[in-house]
Amino acid sequence: MASVTLSDVAREAGVSLATASRAINGSANRTVRPELRDRVLAAAAALHYSPDANAQAMARGRTTTLGLIVHDIADPYFSSIAAGVTTAAERAGLMVTLASTGHDPEREIAFIEVLQSQRARAIVMAGSRIEDETVNDRLRAALSAYRAGGGAVAMIGQPLFDVDTVAIENTAGAADLAVALHAAGYRRFAALAGPAGHLTARDRMEGFAAGLASRGAALAPEHIMRSAFTRDGGYEGMRELLDSGAAVDVVLAVNDVMAVGAMAAARDAGVTVGTGIGIAGFDDIVTLRDVTPSLTTVRVPLLQVGATATELTLGEPAAEPRLERVASTVVLRDSTPPRA
């Protein structure tokens, strides 16, 4: 059987092809009278007509797709944000297209260009920025071109690109964690600081150092380990710290997955986490709450972060980029028990 065409629907409804198209696909410029729209939709249902998504996108100027770009979907930080994005998108009747860049800025820019060519209604980008103005300028240009075509953008991270941004209070949260650990009796500190040039890691390190300074304490430079912002990076940084023989009581990992890697490295070295050394992370990722011992961290409401970013892209455009700040909360657990 030949497939049903829009011309068949128009003929069945007794309207022009243009009217049938506007009734089914929508139009950015012209509307159809309700009685004509009802007649066309009834004809389409009777003929079992399936509208063409590309035709709808052309007519409306945008699809019902929201693009979500993350650095690494295998990282539970990003999967938690993705859950918030998809929940908010579903409430708005949108489908989410997910792209994972593998921390490659070139892929990030390429994904924006693909979403622009596909007429995606909005883009949410999640992940820290880096200190590279050449890369940032190219990303800024790609976002500007997408927005010029009518797309909406929200960033989860640093407010660097003149778009709506959801910014996590990384500096304040890390400062609060430092103060809480000092109050729990810790005096000799180390940090798994992530890679140089990573802005989220930088903000958290600056906050932690400021919190320690407010209590008359400090991080010795030789106790700051640089490694990848990943579980394996945490493992390697912790192993380097332990191999150095550094006499420290507690280690900050600048995210939870690095903290999990650090805990594994401590176990492999025969050091008991909690009694032999304290370890703390940042983010309070739900899927990591069952690690043993339970991980001290800074809680970030990641589902809320994803939902808020999505809602920003779907709201009325603002004259100036909006900035939503999300507070974080220290959660002390068994990986850093109180010390005498």
Would residue 335 count as lying in a domain?
Answer: no
Is 118 strand, coil or helix? coil
* Same-domain pairing of 150 and 176: no
* Same-domain pairing of 141 and 187: no
* Same-domain pairing of 296 and 213: yes
> Rounded CA gap, 231 and 237, in Å?
10
CB count, 10 Å around CB of 210?
Answer: 15
- The confidence score (pLDDT) of residue 58 equals 47
* Same-domain pairing of 158 and 38: no
Q: Give pTM, 2 decimals.
A: 0.81
pLDDT digit of tens for each residue in the chain (340 aa)? 457 888 888 899 998 888 888 888 766 567 788 888 899 899 988 988 877 655 555 445 557 899 999 999 889 999 999 999 999 999 999 999 999 999 898 999 999 999 998 889 999 999 999 889 999 999 999 999 999 888 999 999 999 999 999 999 999 999 999 999 999 999 999 999 999 999 999 999 999 999 999 999 999 999 999 999 999 999 999 999 999 999 999 999 999 999 999 999 999 999 999 999 999 999 999 888 889 999 999 999 999 999 999 999 998 888 899 999 999 999 999 999 999 7
Query: Cα 89 to the chain's mean position, in Å?
Result: 14
| Region of 93 on the Ramachandran plot (φ > 0 left; ψ -120 to 50 alpha; else beta) | left
Q: What are the structure tokens assigned to 22, written together?
A: 């506007």
8 Å CB contact between 259 and 315: no
Would residue 336 count as lying in a domain?
Answer: no
CATH number at 41 reads: 1.10.260.40
Residue of 176, 198, 202, 162 lying closest to 318 (CA atoms): 162
* Same-domain pairing of 164 and 312: yes
Tell the residue number behind the tokens 């320690």, with chain if given.
212
- The confidence score (pLDDT) of residue 56 equals 52
8 Å CB contact between 121 and 280: no
* Same-domain pairing of 317 and 248: no
| Region of 119 on the Ramachandran plot (φ > 0 left; ψ -120 to 50 alpha; else beta) | left
Would residue 337 count as lying in a domain?
Answer: no
CATH number at 214 reads: 3.40.50.2300
* Same-domain pairing of 221 and 266: yes
- The confidence score (pLDDT) of residue 137 equals 93
> Rounded CA gap, 161 and 236, in Å?
33
Domain boundaries, position 97: 65-168+303-327
Number of independent structural domains in the chain: 3
> Rounded CA gap, 157 and 257, in Å?
18
